[in-house]
Amino acid sequence: MNVTQERLDIDWTWPNLPLEWWQDTYATLHMWTQIVGKIRLSLTPLINHFWNVPLYVNSRGLTTSAMPYEDRTLEIRFDFIDHNLEVTLSDGERAAMSLRPRSVADFYQELMGMLSSRGIEVKIHPIPDEVQNALPFEQDTLHTSYDPGCAYRFWRILVQTDRVFNKFRSRFIGKCSPVHFFWGSFDLAVTRFSGRRAPARPAADAITREAYSHECISHGFWPGGGAVKEPCFYSYTSPEPVGLDQRSIRPDAAFYSKDLSEFLLPYNAVRLADSPDDVLLEFMQSTYEAGATLAHWDRDALERR
Q: Could you report the per-residue pLDDT of 224-274, keeping only the tens digit for each?
A: 998 899 999 999 999 999 999 999 999 999 999 999 999 999 999 999 999
216 and 86 share one domain? no
Within-domain flag for 147: no
Which residue from 56, 59, 54 is spatially nearest to 44, judged by alpha carbons? 54
Within-domain flag for 7: no
Q: What percent of the chain has pLDDT over 90?
A: 91
d(CA 211, CA 209): 6
Spacing of C-alpha 189 from chain mean position: 6
d(CA 24, CA 28): 6
208 and 250 share one domain? yes
| Distances 297 to 136, 158, 242, 294 between C-alpha atoms, Å | 43, 29, 14, 8
25 and 106 share one domain? yes
Domain count, the chain: 2
**DSSP-derived 3-state class of residue 127:** coil
d(CA 74, CA 43): 9
167 and 238 share one domain? yes
Range of the domain at 184: 156-302
108 and 215 share one domain? no
Which residue from 266, 298, 301 is spatially nearest to 283, judged by alpha carbons? 266
| pLDDT score at 12 | 66
Residues β-bridged to residue 225: 228
Within-domain flag for 148: no
For residues 62 and 33, the answer to whether their CB atoms sit within 8 Å is yes
User: What is the CB-side half-sphere exposure of residue 84 using CA atoms within 13 A?
Assistant: 8
Burial of 61 (0-12, 13-18, 19+ CB in 10 A): buried
Q: Is the pTM of this model over 0.75?
A: yes
d(CA 273, CA 294): 29
Using the predicted structure, report yes or no on whether residue 87 has a pLDDT greater than 70.
yes
115 and 206 share one domain? no
pLDDT, tens digit, for every residue of 213-226? 999 999 999 999 98
pLDDT, tens digit, for every residue of 123-163? 999 999 999 989 999 999 999 999 999 999 999 999 999 99
Instruction: Give the largest Cα separation in the chain, rounded.
Output: 57
Within-domain flag for 1: no
194 and 104 share one domain? no
